Amino acid sequence: MGIYLSTPKTEKFSEDGENDRVRYGLSSMQGWRATMEDAHAAYPDLDDSTSFFGVYDGHGGKVVSKFCAKYLHQQVLKHEAYAAGDIGTSLQRAFFRMDEMMCGQRGWRELAVLGGKMDKFTGMIEGLIWSPKGSDGIDQADDWAYEEGPHSDFSGPTSGSTACVAVLRNNQLLVANAGDSRCVISRKGQAYNLSRDHKPDLEAEKERILKAGGFIHAGRVNGSLNLSRAIGDMEFKQNTALPAERQIVSSNPDINIVELCDDDEFLVLACDGIWDCMSSQMLVDFIHEQLHFESKLSVICERVLDRCLAPSTAIGEGCDNMTMILVQFKKPIKSASPAEQQSSHFKSDDIESTPEGSRE
């Protein structure tokens, strides 16, 4: 059956957690796909005042999504802008940093380990043989140092991954997205998209693709990729005359900033395996129904996955890997100041502050 199994793998990885600000549940399932290429990250206490949640939907393999799940939140913390309180800049830099880190000898070695092509012991031995020093023999200031070795000219993976992450600090929510995974918030029962699906036929995406020397065929970048932004996919990022944000496929995230208020109930991060089957409002409605009689959030996520799973591969929709994170805000949430209430809660120019249903 090609990329599909004869019967779906319905075993789920699920998790719950909480702190004084939020409670969360998550679940992921391989489903009908021959391999599991989704990954996720959930750190309710990234630091003393910050929570981090992310979903990563891999394509062409699992290594880039796993790499992002392992390292992206770390890079957010490490950027100098984060310490200065500029989370948006640190998020954007972390997305770009993923592509940089996956190149060269060390990037190749880490991807090989994550992909199961090299065990950790062998990777450690190779790391000892090819010591992480610069060309002058001096350790680099960056803790992801240059390594000399047989793969030092590795230009990065041809596979890739979406990335949709939500960072909650005090009363502010930041969502960064590249690709077609999606973040949705429920405000008084109404679904609001906090991210935009990056598809090649969007006018701004199409313009960038064509200017960078690419083309669109059958709704796909260069006839291959049905996303216009992603981490990895380095074959689409080889124009040395252009910055990272202007490549054929870019890892540059849209960043949306939201001031939370008492009307905000929960947010959902999910890969397109969910959104192919349920609209944003349908999912919010389903969660509201479940919350009346189910308190464990991971169980609600599991029920969404089961509902979306197709009965057979003949249908098409419901045959993808599925990952979902449900984050519920604990009450009371401090209301925004009068000045903040007069401004739009949804600050990004790219995201409309109207419910999904009214845009159709």
Name the strand (E) or helix (H) holding 18: strand 4-18
What does the pLDDT average to over 332-343? 44
User: 73-87, 107-121, 210-224, 325-339: lowest mean pLDDT where?
Assistant: 325-339
Strand partners for 190: 187
The whole-number pLDDT of residue 143 equals 63
Asked if the bond preceding 8 is cis, omega within 30° of 0, the reply is no
The whole-number pLDDT of residue 119 equals 63
Dihedral sign for Cα 55, 61, 67, 70, please: positive
User: 60-69, 270-279, 333-342: lowest mean pLDDT where?
Assistant: 333-342
The whole-number pLDDT of residue 343 equals 38
* Cα dist from 163 to 36, 46, 56, 186, 230, whole Å: 16, 18, 5, 21, 7
Residue 356 has pLDDT above 70, yes or no: no
* Token code pair at residue 29: 């399932």
Residue 317 has pLDDT above 50, yes or no: yes
pTM comes to 0.88
Residue 75 has pLDDT above 50, yes or no: yes
Residue spans of the domains in the chain: they are 4-103+155-348
What does the pLDDT average to over 10-19? 97
pLDDT tens column, 24-38:
999 999 999 999 999
Residues 52, 46 contacting (CB under 8 angstroms): yes
| DSSP-assigned letters across all residues of 264-306 | EEEEEEE-HHHHTTS-HHHHHHHHHHHHTT---HHHHHHHHHH
* Residue whose structure tokens are 């009450």: 331
Residue 209 has pLDDT above 70, yes or no: yes
The whole-number pLDDT of residue 144 equals 72
For residue 352, give the 3-state DSSP assignment: coil
Q: pLDDT band for 315, please (50, 70, 90 cuts).
A: confident
* Token code pair at residue 353: 């502050």
The whole-number pLDDT of residue 217 equals 95
CATH superfamily of 4-103+155-348: PPM-type phosphatase domain (3.60.40.10)
Q: Give the Cα separation of 4 and 170 in Å (integer).
A: 43
Residue 138 has pLDDT above 60, yes or no: no
The whole-number pLDDT of residue 121 equals 58
